[in-house]
Amino acid sequence: MSDDSSGSVDAPLVEGVHRSALLRSLPEQDLTAVLGVGRVLRRERGQMLLRSGGDAVLVVLSGTAKEHRAVSQVEEVVLGLLGPGDAAGLTGALGTPRDGDVTALTPTTALLLPGGDLRSMARARPAVANAWLQAATDELSDLRAQVLAFSATSTTDRVVYRLVELAERFGEPIDGEVRIRAQLTQEELASWARASRESVAKALHELRRARILMTRRRSLTILDLEALRDRQPGVDAHAVSEPQLSARVDAGFPEILDIDLR
C-alpha cells in the first residue's frame, strides 16, 4: 500500500477497515493482499478524491465526502454522503462506468483500489469475491430503502429524513446535543434531499423555531434528536412493491436522480 502524502495512516486505516463491508470480513492474508495494491489518499475540503468514468473503488477511512454528478455547468446532484468505511465505485469496478465524482467535505483519508487489481483478486481469492458481492448488495439495498422512503413524501419530510441520517451517521453527541461533522451547504443538502434551496431554507426555519436544531455557516447542531425523529415520516412497507423497485433499479432510479431542483 502506497501513500500519496507523508505521515502515519494507521489510525484512520484501522477505523475504516473495521467499518468497511468490503474489507472487515476478509481473512488476514486476503486483507493484506488487497491493501497491498491500494493507495492512501489525503484530501482537504473541496478536493477531488475520485473522478467519474474510471473503474477504481474508493473506501473512505476517515472524514466525510460527497458523491455527486454535474447536471449542468452550474448545477450538481448530490448522490450520497460517504463516511468511514463507506465505498464508492463498487459496481463501476464490475464494468459499469461510474457516473459520479467523489469530493471531500472535510479533511478525508481514503483508500483507492484499482479496479483491475480488485477483479484479479476476486478471481483468485473467493473471500474477496464474496466480500465484494456483499458490499455491492448492501449498497443496492440502501438505494432501494431510499426509493421506498422518498416515494410518497413531501419536501419537508425528505429534509427531515436527511437530517436524521446526518445525525445518526455523522453526528457527534455533545451534552445532549448532536453536532454534525459533515460540512454541507444548503445547496448540497437541498440536492441530497431532492428539494429546492428555498424549500430547505423554509424547513430549517421551522425546525429552528421549534428549537429542534441550530444552524450557522456550514454548521448544524441537532438540539433535540428525538423530536426530529418524531417528525420523520413513517414508511408503508407495501407502498412500493418489489417488482416496482426492481424496475426503478433497472431504470437508474429516475424519480430520484432526475428531479428538477430549480
Residue 9 exposed, middle or buried by CB count within 10 Å (0-12, 13-18, 19+): middle
pLDDT (tens digit per residue) in 14-38: 778 889 999 999 999 999 999 999 9
Identify whether the C-beta of residue 67 lies closer than 8 Å to the C-beta of residue 77: no
Give me the helices (H) in the chain, please: 10-19, 28-37, 115-124, 126-150, 155-170, 186-192, 197-209, 225-230, 242-250, 254-257
Instruction: Report d(CA 26, CA 6) in Å as an integer.
Output: 27
What is the pLDDT, as a whole number, of residue 188? 92
What is the pLDDT, as a whole number, of residue 3? 66
What is the pLDDT, as a whole number, of residue 11? 60
What is the pLDDT, as a whole number, of residue 210? 95
What is the pLDDT, as a whole number, of residue 246? 44
Q: What is the pTM of this model?
A: 0.80
Instruction: Report d(CA 32, CA 153) in Å as an integer.
Output: 45
- The DSSP bridge pattern shows strands 101-104 and 76-82 to be unpaired
